[in-house]
Amino acid sequence: MSDQIIPVDQLLPNKLYLVALMGRPIFPGIFTPIMIGNPSDVKVVEDANSGDGLIGLVMLQNDTDSPSITDLYTIGTAAKIVKKINLPDGGVNIFISTLKRFRVKKTLNPSNPIVAAVEYLEEEEDNTSEVKALTRALISEMKQISENNPLFSEEMRLNMINIDHPGKIADFIASILNIDKAEQQKILEILNVRKRMEQVLVFIKKEQELLRIQKKIQKEINEKIEKSQRDYFLKEELKAIKTELGMTTDAKSSDYQRFKDKFDSFKFEGEVKETVDQEMEKFSLMEPNSAEFTVTRNYLDVIAALPWNKPAPEVFELRNAQAILEADHYGLKDVKTRIVEYLAVRKLRGNALQKGSERNYATGSIVCLVGPPGVGKTSVGRSIARALGKQFFRFSVGGMRDEAEIKGHRRTYIGAMPGKIIQGLKIVKTKDPVFMIDEIDKMGASYHGDPASALLEVLDPEQNNSFRDHYLDLPFDISSVFFIVTANTLDTIPPPLLDRMEIIQLPGYIDTEKLEIAKRYLLPKSLEKNGLGKNHVKYTKDSLLHIANSYAREAGVRNFEKNLDKIHRKLAKQIIEAQESSANNDEEEKNKNSAVNNNPQDKKSTAASGKKETSEKLLRFNIDKKLIEKHLGKPIFREDDIKTANKPGMSVGLAWTSMGGDTLVIEATSLPVKEGITLTGKMGETMKESAEIAMTVARKLAVEQYGVSKDWFEKNHIHMHIPEGATPKDGPSAGITMATALLSLMRGKTVAPKLVMTGELSLTGLVLPIGGLKEKTIAARRNRAKHIIFPKHNERDLDEIPEHVKKGIEFHAVEKFDEVLALALPD
């Protein structure tokens, strides 16, 4: 009996256990391993292997950990398990031989395990010459791809050539091409061999295009690498040739020699010398193209730019320094005296050190100038530098929240740089300059650190002789620097920082001082700034006082200068318009005269002369109150802005703010309702407590001394208010003012005119000391007060107030509240 060949589809069962494929579909005619990890799929493999060893491989439409029949495509591939290897993690590795395409006809079990009835699909053969041509094309194109792609092994090439069936060739190529799994599934579902081959050929062309682009990119990269290597070797050869000829080799060698010469002149010792030598050795071994080379060169640049050598002894005349301060600033007598005393001590100490100490230069100083805005704190600092003949460097720390701004960033950070102190020394190139640190009261803290804490080392004479910047990371002596810091208030400066400074208060200016400052400094400066000459503008004393009192009543003179600038800009505009108008008239007159033949030269001369006189008249301005109001508008501060107590229940007090002294009105009234007191005007906690004390003291005195009935308090509700309700107010110094207002209300009597007061009140009726008497006196003078009541404990502060400020004001020192009442509400 002869052997009979049985077709494959007759050997395949109509029922298959299905294994879900997550990666990509597997085509018929392939021998390949598959890793199975899902427990349900492992069971399918075990069951199939114990039987006929046949399974169905179908790709998932959507990735899921627990697939069912609905998650699978309908067309897959039947496969025979050739070998099974159990894995330690419970999974299996199987080697399969794929046989034929099938379609799922019916679901027998939807999941765990998936079992389906299937029908096997026959390929639609087409033995035309077109199919033969496609077969050759596929093999030829794949040979080209395999030659340029190392991922295609020699075994793949041989398998492709040995396959004799066109459909299997298309399946094999589709399985090894880098195609999306959905596209591969579409190819698997194409039964017509010619169409399948055409589709595969399209993907081959796409792969060839990708390879062409990849090859182009690879070529460009290789060219860049080759150029870089070529340049490097050429530079090395050039360096060797220059060395042989004794020429300077490169910029690196030039930098190295420059650094070496500079560092040798500094004569470093100890840690500084050791660190610099190490950095120089590293620098000499680095390649110029490396990133570390630039970092090290920048670091050495900073070291080389700093003034390491000791400065020359200070040489300045105290008389000259005093003359410079007098020339630069009007008034501020107490401030100038203290600065001159400070300079005298500095000079005396410097002389002593020069004679008997190794350090032959004066140590630095730390001065804090405190005052309202616009009183000249920054200009005083510049004058000190000029008086000492020192370099001046200023920087502001207002709003600063990062301590690295003071002490620098560590060199490990990209873009690191030294702090402001080292930067300033690098700029001035001297070890004993005058440094001004502006707005020290406006620093803040954040997660970056606290700059105020960083300043503790900078401003401490016991520590700053070895100040260590984070970037420099070397001890640098900044003890010779004369530090001047400025602030508007001391309240926000940390006490440890405040303890390191000598405090000098700069009070505000009164109107007569502003008048002199305007004449000597502000007017000439503003005229020059706006292109005007002295002969263009003339101010009277009354007009300048009008600006001071009606437009710039604050403590400083900054707004005064702004108002002068505003006037001068408008005058400059008028002058230019007048000159242009005059020029146009001259041109018209010239044209007119040229048309007349009766001595035209004389007519031209006469006309030009007349127009010149008219122009000169237009260039002169006499500034009076009327012209000021024309250019500046209606006055900001009017005469009725003078705060007065003209009704019972009112009194005028004095307050201190960061902007200088100020006056405040206390208002009290009563309502015929239930007993009590209401406080308004945005008072702080301390001021509210002072108001309660004032109420207790006033009520006791009203009943016991002035005969006010107790029933009056039971039937009246008192409301006390401080105007300008949006402005926060706090402090105890308004105690006697509030008590006076309350007693004025209770007695129905008006407080004495042109009288202001300040002082804390105790429950026993004592008047306790306050601060800022000088600033408060200036505010009282601006308010045109004639009498000031103040605590007797503050009599010593009267000596600090200039005579011209006290002139015309009578001061009443009191110890008890009864004395206040005798002056404010006399019987």
The residue count of the chain comes to 827
DSSP state for residue 17 in the 8-state scheme? E
Bridge partners, residue 15, by sequence: 117
Measured torsion, CA atoms of residues 85, 91, 97, 102, in degrees rounded to the nearest 10: 150
Bridge partners, residue 787, by sequence: 755, 810
Helix, strand, or coil here: 701? helix
Which two three-digit tokens encode residue 711?
């029933």
- Could you tell me the end-to-end alpha-carbon distance of the chain, in angstroms, rounded to an integer? 153
Helix axes 193-245, 129-148, angle to 10 degrees: 20
Which two three-digit tokens encode residue 567?
């006037």
Give the angle 377-383-385 at the CA atoms, nearest 5°: 110
Which two three-digit tokens encode residue 14?
């109509």
Dist CA 348 CA 338 (whole Å):
15
In 428-563, beta strands by DSSP E = 434-438, 467-468, 475-476, 482-487, 502-505, 537-539
Q: 526: left (phi > 0), else alpha (psi -120 to 50), else beta?
A: alpha
- Answer whether 644's CB lies under 8 Å from 630's CB: no
Dist CA 94 CA 84 (whole Å):
4
- Least Cα distance to 631 among 536, 554, 547 occurs for 547
Place of tokens 């002139």: 807
Catalytic residues: 733, 776
Q: How far is CA 396 from the centre of its chain?
A: 14
Percent helix, percent strand, percent coil in the chain, to nearest 5: 50, 20, 30
Bridge partners, residue 538, by sequence: 622
Dist CA 36 CA 52 (whole Å):
19
- Least Cα distance to 134 among 207, 218, 195 occurs for 195
Half-sphere exposure (Cβ direction) of 262: Cα atoms closer than 13 Å: 17
Segments in 246-361 forming alpha helices (H): 251-266, 270-285, 291-305, 318-328, 333-356
What is the rounded radius of gyration, in angstroms, for the C-alpha atoms of the chain?
48
Which two three-digit tokens encode residue 89?
């993690």
Burial 696-718 (b: 16+ CB within 10 A, else e): ebbbebbeeeeebeeeebeebeb
- Answer whether 19's CB lies under 8 Å from 43's CB: no
Q: Is the peptide bond before 600 cis (omega within 30 degrees of 0)?
A: no
* Amino acid making up residue 559: N
Segments in 768-816 forming alpha helices (H): 773-782, 803-806
Dist CA 420 CA 52 (whole Å):
85
- Least Cα distance to 286 among 273, 274, 299 occurs for 299
Helix, strand, or coil here: 720? strand
Rounded alpha-carbon distances, angstroms, from residue 10 to 14, 17, 26: 10, 18, 22
Dist CA 744 CA 650 (whole Å):
7
Dist CA 786 CA 772 (whole Å):
19
What's the maximum distance between 2 C-alpha atoms anywhere in the chain? 153
